[in-house]
Amino acid sequence: MAATATRKWATRAGVAAAVFGMPAAAFCAADHKGYPKYPRGHVRRPDLPTYTIEEVKKHIDAETQVWCTYKGGVYDATSFLMGHPGGTGRLLMAGGNDLAIFWDVYRQHYQKHVLDFLETYRIGNVTPEDALKQETEFVFNNPFVDDPVRPDPDLLHTTEYPFNGEPLLKRLHENFYTPNDLHYVRLHMPVPDIEADDWEVEVSGLGLPGPKIYKLKELQTKFQQRSLSCTLQCAGNRREDFQDHGGHFIFIAPQWRVAAISNASYTGVYLRDVLKDAGLDVDALTFTDKPHPTIKHVHFEGSDVTEDGVKYGVSIPIEKAVNPVGDTMIVWEMNGKPLPRDHGGPVRTLVPGHVGNKSCKFLEYIKICTGESMRPWHLKSYRNFPPDFSFEEHLSKWDKLTDEQLAKGPICQLMPVQSLITYPPPQSVIGGRDADSVKVKGISWSGNGVGMARVDVSLDGGQHFTAADFLPKPPEVVEREMWGRRWSWYQFEKDIKLPNELQDKLQRGEKIELELVSKGVDNGFNVQPESVDPYYNPRGCVVNSWYRVPVTMDPKEKANTLVSEVKGQD
């Protein structure tokens, strides 16, 4: 297989000249129920013993104990090994060391609720001298230094390392095909740099005579090439809506705001065709009255790898992979250009309608299996647990969860109906002089492939709705889409008439406040829920409640012109 560049992840070094991590801050933890009230940071806990560095390093064993330090505190993370959202290996890598060394790269940990949660694992102190030594004697080399440049300033950085970015909301409606540099980016590890001529994929597993390897040129010449317009959305899009929800917090990154969704045209070949060529009886698996007893799932593995050597992996049901109208593909072009590195180049899978992480980037292996993928990005990260589950009480104790509890949090596959008003931007001021309506624009989509029936829009927070108008899709999309295969989004617009009383206020020179809302309805009559409350889940997945856009209309400015907006999404 094509090899990725070997990286020097971490090295021992002499005492560095500066301290890693956040500035020391001593304040009382526990603004919410469940966390003990005591100071953290560079504050000695007099109720706990003091350990030497040597004693801390004695407690490093994947099977029994993992101790680490953070700014003068000693923490026993053993019981958190299986619950760590970033994977067990990454926590083991920090064993015996100071967390700030790693968190200076993975800065998404520097949130108050994360630091408060960490303090629940505290068992002791180290001396100030040892704390400084711990923070400076070990160097964690940033593994992301060779990542590609992201040139568009409107691709907002949700996390720096690994890079995750969402487009500025108001730009989503500009193009039916989202430009490659603006398309949302979801990465889990450093971006591999693989030449197209060096790329190859191995297909193996149940139902095949043996492994078979394909080079890119073979895929491009042996199979019929197809182009498909497809919307991708991260399972965690709008995850921020769940942050600090009912006293619960989200402990997995990225905490997307709203725009981890984009649409593009992809070119490649059907996965079904490749599996058939490799020896799988795809027709027998498709045209049958009962499922195959052992052939259940197709695993995808990418070339992107964690610091401790674990490659990205996910799986999809075999039915989706071999369905002749499921449109699952292996693709190498995006919007007519070679697939960019940030988007999985040179080759990735495309699984229309499913959560974005199933469209595996940097594709390296395809395997037919009985069970689902055991990689954490499939098994742990994207599950929809019920509202009475929390990270603190349940998911952080992953190895204690029963099979019955896990069954209540199914792994996410299909995405629900979604719509978003993308213009005007949230918290913006728009002109209202002589205005009798407010113009809204947006996008809508449903992962089940049946397409959208309509999008209803409101200017009073959902008290009154009217149907928006869909913009026509490009001819090449209209010619191809059919029932169950409508994978691309719908753009909508509407001039919503202002009630007479609001028009009167504008005429009197008064500003008016509006709450714009959209409500998507797909052709299966699945409807976006009004409130996020009943749908809370501790992983922050498949959020699709009404997205609310507060705006102000200023009677002094020309009608429907954008006068001012806040920086970022809202």
157 is catalytic: no
Select from 424, 419, 425 the least CA-distant residue to 438. Answer: 424
Q: Which two tokens stand for residue 273?
A: 């065709």
354 is catalytic: no
Q: Could you tell me how many helices (H) and strands (E) the chain has, helices first?
A: 13, 29
Select from 138, 280, 228 the least CA-distant residue to 488. Answer: 228
Cα torsion 94, 98, 104, 109: sign: positive
What distances in angstroms separate CA 399 from CA 101, 336, 541, one per listed residue? 27, 45, 21
**Strand, coil or helix: 181:** coil
Residue 490, amino acid = Y
Q: How far apart are CA 324 and CA 299, in angstroms?
A: 19
Q: How far apart are CA 105 and CA 93, in angstroms?
A: 14
Catalytic residue among 266, 270, 382, 535: 382
Catalytic residue among 40, 45, 59, 84: 84
Q: How far apart are CA 240 and CA 316, in angstroms?
A: 27
Q: How far apart are CA 504 and CA 89, in angstroms?
A: 63
378 is catalytic: no
234 is catalytic: yes
What distances in angstroms separate CA 563 from CA 16, 436, 549, one per listed residue? 49, 17, 16
Q: How far apart are CA 490 and CA 219, in angstroms?
A: 31
Please, which residues bridge with residue 317 across strands? Answer: 297
Catalytic residue among 113, 121, 230, 234: 234
**Strand, coil or helix: 176:** coil
Q: How far apart are CA 513 and CA 522, in angstroms?
A: 30
Q: Which residues contact 407 (CB under 8 A, 6 or more apart)?
A: none
Q: How far apart are CA 9 and CA 423, in angstroms?
A: 43
186 is catalytic: yes
Q: Which residues contact 110 (CB under 8 A, 6 or more apart)?
A: 22, 103
Catalytic residue among 40, 109, 248, 341: 109
DSSP state, residue 387: T
Q: What residues act catalytically?
A: 84, 109, 186, 234, 382
